[in-house]
Amino acid sequence: MSIQFQDDFNRKFYYLRLSITDVCNFRCTYCLPDGYKAKQNKTPFLSIDELKRVVCAFAHCGTSKIRITGGEPSLRRDFTEIIAMIAEQKGIEKIAMTTNGYRLTKEVKKWRDAGLTHLNVSVDSLDSRMFHQITGENKFHQVMKGIDAALDAGFKTVKINAVLLKNMNDVEIPAFLNWIKDKPIQLRLIELMKTGEMTELFDKHHKSGLPVRDYLMRNNWEMKIPEKNDGPAEVYCHPDYQGEMGLIMPYKKDFCASCNRLRISALGKLHLCLFGDQGVELRDLLQTDDQNEALILRIQKELMNKKQTHFLNQGYSGSTPNLASIGG
């Protein structure tokens, strides 16, 4: 490792979220309620060679964890090859993906064999009708089978992402807790985040995770100490539960103080924050291997512009229209 990517506030970036496509086959109410709309004159997403140059630069500068995301990353035909390519890069210890889970049953073993080490599956409800209502797809049972397939394939644990939605799935906390009692699952409740395209939904359905945290504390759940390349969740464990609970609360004070991650969009832009502005073009420096040094210098220079915090609490959620377009 030559340099460590870090910003002006001494935050070090060990974790990269790499979006490989904007396309998705689900229509989650909070993300792509009308489904993915292909653009005319569409610029192609980063090729495997371009992705390799991104990963190589980050690995060279201290990044040890890559999360592959999207859109729905498993929709890319070369998805297994992308995992294998990342697994070959020196310094990368963890390769994670976030998926809506619809392809797990068929493919998860292959992905694990290619080098995938960590898996997040989005499951917003344990009630199949509510799942359908939130995601726009009647695929609850298929996704649940996929989670079992992942555990059978050898993943020691699976992380589940559930966006907490007032008057929709917020009555399901007891059901979620019951589900993880005897299963090696870390269930992470994510507070709904306001994005550019979302107006009414946020006001209607946003709910703070703090009451859930208070409930956990009152019931003897203990907070775990995070590792350096862990994500933003506060994780809680309990001696009577095999599973764990995680809370992601971006509106909480000091959420940004422990930021250790950066994002690359599927079109090759560097995003310093999920709630920042347009992103910085990197694609012109992803064309040949000998551009590596220039690529690292541009990223390092841009990191000096990373703001200390987002401005969500001031009502500014940046220019991201939805999380599928930047890689959630």
Q: Which residues bind ligand SF4 (CB under 6 A)?
A: 24, 26-28, 31-32, 70-72, 100, 122, 324
Residue range at the interface with ligand SAM (CB under 6 A); choices 68-76, 169-177, 275-283, 287-295:
68-76
Contact between 195 and ligand SAM per CB under 6 A: yes
Q: Is 265 in the site for ligand SAM (CB under 6 A)?
A: no
- Picked from ligand SF4, ligand SAM, none, the partner binding residue 192 (CB below 5 to 8 A depending on kind) is ligand SAM
Round to whole Å and give the CA distance between 35 and 28.
8
**Contact 252/232 with Cβ under 8 angstroms?**
no
Whether the CB-CB separation of 50 and 78 falls below 8 Å is answered with no
Do you know the residue count of the chain? 328
Helix (H) or strand (E) holding 175: helix 173-180
Binds ligand SAM by CB under 6 A, chosen from 6, 63, 69, 186: 69
Contact call for residue 144 and ligand SAM (CB under 6 A): no
CA-based nearest residue to 276, from 258, 297, 292, 261: 261
Which segment (48-56, 111-119, 191-199, 213-221) binds ligand SAM by CB under 6 A? 191-199
Q: Among 11, 29, 70, 312, indicate the residue that binds ligand SAM (CB under 6 A).
A: 70
Could you give the angle at which helices 79-87 and 48-60 cross, rounded to 10 degrees? 30
* Site for ligand SAM contains 186 (CB under 6 A): no
**Toward ligand SF4, which CB reaches closer, 141 or 181?**
141
Instruction: Please state at what angle helix 292-303 crosses helix 48-60, rounded to 10 degrees.
Output: 60
Q: Does 245 bind ligand SAM (CB under 6 A)?
A: no
How many helices (H) and strands (E) in the chain? 9, 12
Residue 36: CB minimum distance to ligand SF4, A: 8
Residue 69 interacting partner from ligand SF4, ligand SAM, none (CB closer than 5 to 8 Å by kind): ligand SAM
163 binds ligand SAM (CB under 6 A): yes
- Kindly state the smallest distance separating residue 264's Cβ from ligand SF4, in Å: 16
What is the three-class DSSP state of 160?
strand
Which has the closest alpha carbon to 113: 91, 93, 89, 95? 95
To 10 degrees, what angle do helices 128-135 and 140-152 make?
Answer: 100
Residues near ligand SAM (CB under 6 A) are 24, 30-31, 69-70, 72, 98-100, 122, 161, 163, 190, 192-193, 195, 323-324, 328
